[in-house]
Amino acid sequence: MDSPVITIENSNWDIHHPNPEWIRALESGKVLHFKQLPFSISEEENALFNSGIQNPKSRNISVGADSVLKGAVGDEQTLQLLKHFILRYRECSTRLINSLVPNYSKRLKVSPTSFRPLNISQRKQSWRADDRRLHVDAFATRPNYGERILRVFRNINPEGAPRVWRVGDSFENIAQQFLPRIKPYSHLKAMALNTIGLTKSFRSEYDHMMLQIHDGMKADLDYQKNSPQIMFDFMPGDTWVCFSDQTSHAAMGGQYMLEQTYNLPVDALYDYQSSPLAILSSKTQRKLA
């Protein structure tokens, strides 16, 4: 398979000359890999590199769009330092995306920014939650009706360890393989899930399909082993960007990472036809939402 990771030499979070080829690659499910973006860490911030800073009951440490810090433990000074550290990364990530894909800038919705201090190999999770299995992102409780999930990751490991990813097949090929396996959509079931509060809003047929594809990929151990994929090491200081609802990915190793999530309305894309919503609509021959 052609490499799904495109390395870009750029030493500034502001992209002064946006490249249409990078935009096409991003919207087709490729990973854009930046090797030289500066993000200094102060001596005071070095104290944050401690897995004990995360609340053991939380999946990640995060700062939401409301600027509230969640998932961390420590004294007030440490928590304020951590919050500002995470928000500093948000500011850098937003500069990158606004200049990399200018048409997105007025439509981006800021979602949580996370700090991930735990070693991937030490996380105990169910198979559905296990991000070491290839998957595209879809969330059981948060329907999004085709809205895109754009993420900016950065390896900040102080000991030189890589963030190891597997990057898999194209979304079109994934849909071709897993659509025939999914269970039929039930409008009544979606209403019931929303009524009893198991989903934050009504689960659409599109969201049902995406969740079934996500679960189907993770449950299929033969697919995990034998499907088209590459292994890629993102080294400390590396930053990478992808649409995680489209890019097949699995995090295999590493500790200490920053991650910024944005949601983007599908009509803000440069090429709507490359989106999962358009691909699934085409393959099912009906308009999904």
List the chain domain ranges. 5-277
Secondary structure (3-state) at 256? coil
pLDDT at residue 36, rounded to an integer:
86
CATH number attached to the domain at 5-277? 2.60.120
The answer to whether 209 and 288 have CB atoms below 8 angstroms apart is yes
Of the candidates 15, 289, 46, 10, the residue with the CA atom closest to the CA atom of residue 158: 46
List for the chain the helix, strand, coil content (%; round to 5). Answer: 35, 20, 45
Q: Model's pTM, two decimal places?
A: 0.95
Q: Which residues contact 148 (CB under 8 A, 6 or more apart)?
A: 243, 245, 246, 263, 264, 265, 266, 269, 275
- Sheet (strand 239-243) strand order: 5-8, 31-34, 239-243, 148-155, 257-264, 109-116, 61-63, 69-70
The answer to whether 104 and 23 have CB atoms below 8 angstroms apart is no
- Any idea what DSSP says for residue 184? P
Secondary structure (3-state) at 112? strand
| Kind of pairing between the strands at 109-116 and 61-63 | antiparallel
pLDDT at residue 272, rounded to an integer:
97
Tokens for 80?
Answer: 């304020």
| Kind of pairing between the strands at 163-168 and 31-34 | unpaired
The neighbouring-strand residues paired with 88 are: none
From first to last of its 289 residues, what are the pLDDT tens digits of the chain? 789 999 999 999 999 988 999 999 999 999 999 998 999 999 999 999 999 999 998 989 999 999 999 999 999 999 999 999 999 999 999 999 999 999 999 999 999 999 999 999 877 789 998 999 999 999 999 999 999 999 999 999 999 999 999 999 999 999 999 999 999 999 999 999 999 999 999 999 999 999 999 999 999 999 999 999 999 999 999 999 999 999 999 999 999 999 999 999 999 999 999 999 999 999 999 989 7
The answer to whether 203 and 193 have CB atoms below 8 angstroms apart is yes
For residue 7, CA distances in Å to 30, 209, 241, 259, 289 come to 10, 32, 11, 18, 33
Secondary structure (3-state) at 253? strand
Half-sphere exposure of 136 (CA within 13 A, CB side): 29
Q: Which residues contact 101 (CB under 8 A, 6 or more apart)?
A: 18, 23, 26, 270
End-to-end C-alpha distance for the chain, whole angstroms: 31
- d(CA 168, CA 269) in angstroms, rounded, equals 22
The answer to whether 86 and 113 have CB atoms below 8 angstroms apart is yes
The neighbouring-strand residues paired with 165 are: 232, 251
